[in-house]
């Protein structure tokens, strides 16, 4: 009889130790999974949610998350759309707990330079907000290099025509805090 109680006690201890080990493995796997997430993975799970984003230059943008790439996100705001580079994120408020990794290999390779080149190709009139002092420049992107873009400054509401271009400004990509499009 004592043997039976001894074996039951040993089985209970083994089961408890096994449960603790499994819980430890689950916790470690969760930590490893979390360590692989990017800020954009977290923001991607917020599509359709209104977020408030602060940038290092003091900008505050509020809007509904519409698109999220690997290096940028787009908010729908009351005055149009705002694209914010991932490098310009200071704080993000209003997030839920989810995360979504980029499901498409093509979208993963779509870097911010590709977005700027699409703006240049389409001659999209836009406003660039710069990190240095919150300066805003209106115009169209003419050229995009590896780490810079060139903006043809044009008064807001005017089309980019030779006579309307007030000047050309070279802007390092690292200084672009937000790109605002106009409806």
Pair 18, 61 in one domain? no
The alpha carbon torsion through 60, 65, 67, 70 (nearest 10 deg) reads: 60
How many other β-carbons are positioned within 10 Å of the β-carbon of residue 75?
Answer: 22
State the pLDDT confidence band at 34, using cuts at 50, 70 and 90.
low
For residue 106, give the DSSP letter: H
Residues 178, 84 contacting (CB under 8 angstroms): yes
Same domain, 46 and 85: yes
Q: Is 158 helix (H, G, I), strand (E, B) or coil?
A: coil
pLDDT band (50, 70, 90) for residue 154: confident
User: In the chain, how many domains are there?
Assistant: 2
Do 86 and 163 have their domain in common?
yes
**CB neighbour list of residue 4: distance below 8 Å, 6 or more residues apart:** none
125 in the same domain as 73? yes
- Banded model confidence at residue 28, pLDDT cuts 50, 70, 90: low
Residue 30 binned pLDDT confidence (cut-offs 50, 70, 90): low
Higher pLDDT, 161 or 63: 63
- The per-residue pLDDT for range 77-123, each reduced to its tens digit, is 988 899 999 999 999 999 988 887 766 666 666 789 999 999 999 99
Task: Tell whether the torsion through CA atoms of 152, 66, 132 and 183 is positive or negative.
Answer: positive
Which domain CATH number covers 175?
A: 2.30.30.100
Please check whether residues 26 and 45 belong to one and the same domain: no
DSSP-based three-state secondary structure for 3: helix
- pTM of the full structure: 0.77
What is the residue range of 85's domain? 39-181
How many percent of the chain have pLDDT more than 70?
81
Same domain for 4 and 67, yes or no, is no
């Amino acid at each position: 009889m004592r043997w039976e109680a001894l074996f039951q006690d040993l089985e209970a201890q083994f089961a408890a130790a096994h449960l603790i080990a499994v819980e430890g493995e689950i916790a470690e796997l969760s930590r490893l999974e979390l360590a692989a997430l990017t800020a954009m993975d977290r923001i991607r799970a917020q599509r359709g949610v209104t977020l408030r984003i602060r940038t290092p230059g003091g900008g505050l943008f509020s809007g509904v998350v519409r698109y999220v790439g690997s290096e940028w996100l787009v908010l729908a705001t009351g005055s149009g759309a705002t694209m914010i580079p991932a490098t310009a994120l200071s704080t993000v408020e209003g997030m839920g707990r989810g995360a979504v990794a980029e499901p498409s290999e093509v979208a993963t390779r779509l870097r911010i330079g590709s977005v700027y080149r699409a703006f240049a190709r389409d001659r999209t009139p836009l406003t660039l907000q710069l990190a240095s002092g919150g300066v805003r420049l209106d115009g169209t992107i003419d050229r995009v290099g590896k780490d810079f873009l060139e903006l043809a400054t044009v008064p807001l509401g005017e089309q980019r025509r030779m006579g309307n271009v007030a000047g050309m400004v070279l802007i390092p990509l690292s200084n672009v805090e937000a790109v605002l499009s106009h409806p």
